[in-house]
Every structure is written in structure tokens, then in C-alpha cells.
Amino acid sequence: MKIFEHHLRNASELISQYKGTIPFSAWIKNYFKEHKKFGSKDRKQISHLCFCYFRLGKALAKVGVDEKILAGLFLTSNSSNDFLHYFKPNWKEQTILSLEEKLHFIANEFHLSEKNIIDEIFSWQDELCASIDPPAFSTSHLIQPDVFLRVRPGNETKVASKLNAAEITFNTIGQNTLSVSSAVKIDDVIELNKEAVIQDLSSQIVASFFGEINVAKKVVNVWDCCAASGGKSIMFYDFNKNINLTVSDIRNSILANLHERFKEAGITKYQSFTIDLSNPQAKLPAKNFDLIIADVPCSGSGTWGRTPEQLSFFPTEKIDHYSRLQTNITANVVEALADSGYFLYITCSVFKKENEEAVKHLEEKGLKLIRKQTLSGYDKKADTMFAALLRKV
């Protein structure tokens, strides 16, 4: 079929043109904007083929782009499709096999070692936190993660009935956690931020650390110092409304999103300011925070199931860059902790340099570790994150 051959050729050309400077989803959107000849079905199929290729990371580097696209499509599909069948009729029977069996099959097809394929999907195995299972984490990149919703307190019944009325299939994971397929357009159905927040499962599990914060005060002073659009602040507010909330980030444009989101979430009383926290000369707020939430900038390596092009393009030296940035930020920020104040350190990274080693730096600064945890989402179609709660003693 000519159309299949066109799609494969287009995907292959786009993959060779993409240099990893911006996220692939944004890059391909721009490309299609400039090249109007592609219809919506073509755009969808070509993007999908590119993502299938990227999900294999640095594995199958020598088999050629077309073959790697087809192998990626085979490994990420649960049933045979006409496109795959057209190019690989003898793979049809195998599409229903388990991922492990399919990896074995592909290794045989290309005369490669199955272990090497797995090691090369996520090729930073030596940098991983000890608690992560390297093969399971690596192969998880072949599965598209889900979208998770955190239903805000009191909206549980309303959100479920709205989803049911719109005939949207969802899984109930916990009292306040639902998941939907990444293809679903949820914002047409529920009032985002008011009724529910789009928030990854592991990010939601960070709330389990809030219960360990013991402040004998009516109003808790909280500083969400790398707040972005305020996901962690909204979650803390839902846990405890008696807070005096301060938020900051490096740029005003980022905080503009936060103001919008807080409005929708009903958070009206808070202080906000911009600050470069990596600058040792930065003027910090007064030293009176009972809790500082430091959801620091990081490699994002626990979220590459959503941006699989990073498996091919992430420069290894950036791990050290982020680690230094995190050390500079946290060294600065802890100065604003009140006596006995808590410090919640969070990343969406799987690298020990950004996680356990960062916690060691904080302990060297005199903070006492209460709990640290790798929040492994790779077995739950979710992101993998890391959180550590420390206290100034």
C-alpha cells in the first residue's frame, strides 16, 4: 500500500531531521504547521511511528531507521495492525505475546542480545538509584504512560458521574486518584483545577509525606520554592487549608500560569515572587518557614516515558549540571527554614546523583532525614519520582 510506504518514509525523514533541541511533540507540531500537505490521519500516524522509534532509545542502533520504527511499533502494539502486517507479515502472530516474549523475538530477528536491547533502551543504568530495577525500568519506556487525575476533596462523586456521562473509561486507583488513557481529552468534561487536577500518580503519592509533618501551630508557614504552576501547593492546600503560603519560581511567565491555576483552585491568599535560587546572593524571604517544598529542576529522567526522544538525546553531562544546580538551590533555601522546620525535597529523576546524593548534602548541612523514597511509577504506567523529608534539628 502506497500510503503505508509514504508514512514510513515521512517518519524516517522526520526522525533524521530532528536534533533534540526542543521536545519532539512541539517540533513535529511546528513541522506539520509549515507543511500543510499532511491530513490529520497522516499527522497522527507519522507522529506515532516516530514515537515508537524513540521508545527504543539507543537500542537497535544498527538495524536502520525503518526497521527500528517497525520494531518499535511491534513492541508497543498489543494487536496486529494493517500497517505492521503490510511490512512484516511474519510478525503478525507474535503481536499478542507478552512484552518479554516480543523482546526475545525481536532479538532473534535482528540477531542481537536481548539483554543488550534492554540495557540500551535506557542507557544510564549505572547512574540509577539502587532501589530501581534496571531492566523493568528500561522496558517500561515501551509502554505509553497514563494520565492521572487527583480528584479534589468533595468532588469524588461529581467527577465520576461526569466521566461516566461522557462515556470516558477510567480506572479508580485510590479514593482520590483516577487514571485515563493519554488519548482522552479531559478538560472538555470536568472543571480542571477546581474539581480535579491533572497530576501524575507518583506526584500524588508525595502527599503521603505531608502526614509526617508535625507542626504545633494553627497556621503553618509554607514556601513552595520551585512552584512552577503550583501542583504541589494545591495538593498541600487540599491536605491543610490553614497555611500561610508563599510561592516562587525563576520566571514571571511561569508564575502567571500559577496565578491562573490558583484562581481556578480557589486559592486566593498567598505571596509570590520571582527569584533565581541558585544565586548565593539571592535575597531570601525571612527565616520562618515550617515547611519548604523544594520540587527542584532536574533531568526529568523519571518521566521519559512521556518524552521518549530524551532516551536518544539527553546529554549525560547534564546529570552533573542538574546535581550542581540542586545543591546550590537547596544550600540557599534551607537558610529560610524555621527552627524545627521541615524540608521536602522532590525530583522526577531516577539518577542517584540527583536523589540520594542530594539528600546526603542536605544531611551534611545539619538536616535530619525522616524518610526518603523512590516513588516507582514504572510498573504502574506512571512517572518515577523521588522524595525525601528532612527536618532542621
Ligand X SMILES: C[S@@+](CC[C@H](N)C(=O)[O-])C[C@H]1O[C@@H](n2cnc3c(N)ncnc32)[C@H](O)[C@@H]1O
Contact flag: residue 231 with ligand X (CB under 6 A)? yes
Residues 307-366 that bind ligand X (CB under 6 A): 329
Task: Candidates 232, 261, 353, 381: give the one binding ligand X (CB under 6 A).
Answer: 232
Q: Does 200 bind ligand X (CB under 6 A)?
A: no
| Nearest residue (CB) to ligand X, 208 versus 340 | 208
State the Cα–Cα distance between residues 244 and 157, nearest whole angstrom.
30
Among 52, 129, 225, 348, the active-site one is 348
Decide if residue 10 touches ligand X (CB under 6 A): no
Q: What is the CA radius of gyration of the chain?
A: 23
Question: Of these, 227, 243, 245, 255, which contacts ligand X (CB under 6 A)?
Answer: 227
* CB distance 85 to 148 below 8 Å: no
- The helix/strand/coil state of 387 is strand
What is the total count of residues that contact ligand X (CB under 6 A)?
16
Beta bridge partners, 243, equal 220
324 vs 298: CA distance, rounded Å: 10
Helix (H, G, I), strand (E, B) or coil at 351: strand
Q: Does 277 bind ligand X (CB under 6 A)?
A: yes
State which residue, 11 or 362, has the beta carbon closest to ligand X: 362
Q: Segment contacting ligand X (CB under 6 A): 60-68, 76-84, 214-222, 227-235?
A: 227-235
Cell output for 176: 482520590
Rounded CA-CA distance 229/225 in Å is 12
Give the 3-state secondary structure of residue 151: strand
- Contact assessment for residue 201 and residue 148, using Cβ atoms and an 8 Å cutoff: yes
Task: Kindly tell me which of 254 and 369 has the beta carbon lying closer to ligand X.
Answer: 254
Rounded to whole angstroms, the Cα distance separating 212 from 216 reads 13
- Which residue, 83 or 236, has its beta carbon nearer to ligand X? 236
367 phi and psi, to 5 degrees?
Answer: -85, 150
Contact of 265 with 292, CB cutoff 8 Å = no
Strands 147-151 and 196-198: antiparallel
- Determine if 152 is a binding residue for ligand X (CB under 6 A): no
The answer to whether 52 is a known catalytic residue is no
Query: If binding is defined by CB under 6 A, does position 276 make contact with ligand X?
Result: yes
Contact between 264 and ligand X (CB under 6 A)?
Answer: no
Binds ligand X (CB under 6 A): choice among 99, 192, 198, 254: 254
Q: Return the number of other C-beta atoms located less than 10 Å from residue 372's C-beta.
A: 18
Q: Check the annotation: does 276 bind a ligand.
A: yes
- The reply to whether 250 sits near ligand X by the rule CB under 6 A is yes
Whether residue 295 is annotated as binding a ligand: the answer is yes
Closest to ligand X by CB, 68 vs 261, is: 261
Beta bridge pairs of residue 337: 289
CB of 237 to ligand X, least distance (A): 12
Determine the interface stretch with ligand X among 29-37, 43-51, 56-64, 222-230 (rule: CB under 6 A). 222-230
Q: Would you say 232 and 293 are in contact if contact means Cβ atoms under 8 Å apart?
A: yes
Among the listed residues 120, 200, 290, 295, the single contact to ligand X using CB under 6 A? 295
| Contact flag: residue 305 with ligand X (CB under 6 A) | no
Consult the annotation and say whether 249 binds a ligand: yes
Q: Are 170 and 178 in contact (CB under 8 A)?
A: yes
Q: Which stretch binds ligand X (CB under 6 A): 97-105, 248-256, 362-370, 381-389?
A: 248-256
263: number of Cβ within 10 Å: 12
The phi and psi torsions of 152 (rounded to 5 degrees) equal -75, 145
Among 14, 46, 103, 226, which residue interacts with ligand X (rule: CB under 6 A)? Answer: 226
Stretch that binds ligand X, among 28-36, 188-196, 270-278, 308-316 (CB under 6 A): 270-278
Comparing CA positions, the residue from 12, 122, 24 lying closest to residue 67 is 12
State which residue, 122 or 322, has the beta carbon closest to ligand X: 322
Dihedrals φ, ψ of 16, to 5°? -75, -25
- CB of 86 or CB of 273, closer to ligand X: 273
* First CA to last CA distance, the chain: 70
What is the rounded distance in angstroms from the CA atom of residue 239 to the CA atom of residue 291? Answer: 13
Q: Which range of residues in 48-56, 103-111, 184-192, 276-284 is near ligand X by CB under 6 A?
A: 276-284
List residues with catalytic annotation.
348
Which amino acids are annotated as binding site, given as ranges? 249, 276, 295
Residue ranges binding ligand X (CB under 6 A): 226-229, 231-232, 249-250, 254, 275-278, 295, 297, 329
Which amino acids are annotated as binding site for S-adenosyl-L-methionine, given as ranges? 249, 276, 295
